[in-house]
Structure 1
Amino acid sequence: MTSSDELQKRRSSAVARGVGSVINSYVDSASGGTLTDVDGRRWIDFAAGIAVTNVGNSAPRVVEAVRAQVERFTHTCFMVAPYESYVAVCEQLNALTPGGFEKRSALFNSGAEAVENAVKVARHATGRSAVVVFDHAYHGRTNLTLALTAKNMPYKHRFGPFAGEVYRVPMSYPLRDGGLDGATAATRAIETIEKQVGAENVAALLIEPIQGEGGFVVPAKGFLPALRTWATAAGAVFVADEIQTGFCRTGDWFACQHEGVEPDLVTLAKGMAGGLPLAAVTGRAELMDAVHVGGLGGTYGGNPIACAAALAAIETMRELDLAGAARRIGTVLGDRLRAVAARDPRIAEVRGRGAMLAVEIVTPGTLTPDPSATAAVSAACHAAGLLTLTCGTYGNVLRFLPPLVISDDDLARGLDILDAAFG
């Protein structure tokens, strides 16, 4: 078998330099909460493909469903010759997402594509153009979603000019905004919108219930409900980007449910289809149906193989109660992280919800970000066989996203490696 070193050499002459990887080991197989590389090294997975393989890699139901679908047909394009599985996925999403109102869904390929289409729906339905987003937000890598994304390097640097009519307002970031309560932080954001944009111009207010790439920032309690109330009064579409937080990751099916927030539209992807590319916009029927026939779609959107995988993944989440599993993982992971924080003054905060937790690393005694220390801890984890990710506007957040089916033994071993990496 070709070694990782050999593959790395081949990569350098075949793959564009702008495509990065966290580690230089090449995966041969994966299951549950572990990966095995081509050199036979076993890795404990605290990344889950960036919150994608919530049901684990090669989940049995997903494998069976994909195999059966491949044997039947691989593609017709739903816009040309439709099929039942697309409809079935939409039915599931309409039932699962927050809100007791009538809903419709449309399927796409990626989270960025879902976000772009949510903006299209909001603009079309309201007749307005302004989109409000938040500091530290991440919404994708296409031109419009880069305009929505806050972080310059590596995402936006020298890729402009970007799409217009996007306005950024302050996020609730308790560690860095003086501990403002949710209502006060929301008032600050709303005043900025009303002064700089005008409520009557806002088509959509787009927010991650817990920010992902921005640093797993959990807004203060009350922030999201206050924004939801304002959006309703202003006639703006409240869009929850649940691409990283969705499908049991935070201990409920969707992160909005922790505060009883019912978005007008929800963008979905990542954990939905067990590792296959599938995304969606789900929301109020009157909004989704406002778009003219042919205005939504795409050649590969709702591919039948991905739809089969999604139906199997959702059934696996129900059968195994992966929302409950996320809560259990969060308790174990959170307890260990807080124990490490108690002895290591570089950790300014342990935060997150369910199996979506992070630590923010700073210069001791300050809130000055320390990205080099963060990278060093992550590198120490990699050297010991634990796959971890960094994130955050300042590059100083270490985030943890284990598959929700990770075994107790693998979780414990991973935490031992992490503990040792902090020294």
Structure 2
Amino acid sequence: MSHSTTNTSDVLDLDSLLNTDELELRQRVRDFADQRIRPNIARWYEDAVFPRELPAELGELGVLGMHLEGYGCPGRTAVEYGLAAMELEAGDSGIRTFVSVQGSLAMTAIHRWGSEDQKLEWLPRMAAGEVVGSFALTEPTAGSDPSSMASFARRDGEGSDAGWVLDGSKRWIGLASIADVMVVWANTEDGIRGFLIPAGTPGVTVTPIGSKLSMRASIQCDVEFDGVRLGPEALLPGADGLRGPFTCLNEARYGIAWGAMGAARDCYESALEYARSRMQFGKPLASYQLTQEKLVNMHLEIQKGTMLALHLGRLKDAGRLRPEQISAGKLNNVREAIAIAREARTILGGNGITLDYPPLRHANNLESVRTYEGTDEVHLLVLGNHLTGIPAFRG
């Protein structure tokens, strides 16, 4: 069922802040979500399936690496990317996560830090969805603190022809089991560097993580590297230190600020529709003051969060977006989206715990969104550091 927004769902007339291209792009992605995600997502979620045909369809839609220029990438604005993320996550966080891992993480790493040969080899096919990418940063013992990663790549040989031997473990790596290429971050004698590892490379073992209560229509994996031999061409030459992965993480965090509001809007609209038609004590739920208060509070937070995301997008397109501003957007909008999903569920009553309605599925997914690309605590500390001038990450 489509829950496309109506005028009553935009009290502040935020649509008037968007230009024609932005509105057309949003409608195109919204139509895709209505046609391809909504009719299938309950089954995909329940069966824990990520449909393999979606990457090519998303490539055709033009949302893979859509903020990147050249090499077959769409070259759209930050606001347009945000609007696409919002509409995809209104369908499901797992589908938006695919777009984020592919474009904001893996493709951005290659586009920003790769050699010309690496860009030409991978980016056009990734933008088309013909090739799936993965981004391996998090480790079993290094989540919020990537500087303590234990994965290590040692030099193998001498001179410019020297390769690498990689050992280590990664966890919660999106798409790794279906990826054609993996961007892997590891310590070296010269600090943290990035490597491109094609699928099928000997010594790489990928194990999908099962028994998930969240992101069930998405793929996350454990990855082991055991004496993996890499040629000199595997190194991302431009990435040196944590600035490499953090640049990519900021791209993903930006998209999340938009995406979370899509999930929140879908929850709100399903609750509103239900409240209008569900009869209790002889009249619709929507006619009760307590229900109207819930709907108003949800709507206000969605409008404020969308306005925040749009402001961040305009700053990004102007080249002025700062990391602490991204943290503000990610922290606020995901936190509010979870609260909205849970409140929407209360309007649905017992029916709300089923996959016939989206709020509890969104709430479960958003627990993952809340954790990845920086937990609430990490973004609170980023903002605390900005406000006080005192970094409090280490006690």
Taking CA–CA contacts closer than 8 Å with sequence separation of 6 or more, which of the two structures ends up with the larger relative contact order?
1
Q: Same fold (TM over 0.5)?
A: no
The TM-score normalised by the length of structure 1 is 0.25
Structure with more of its chain in helix, by fraction: 2
The TM-score normalised by the length of structure 2 is 0.26
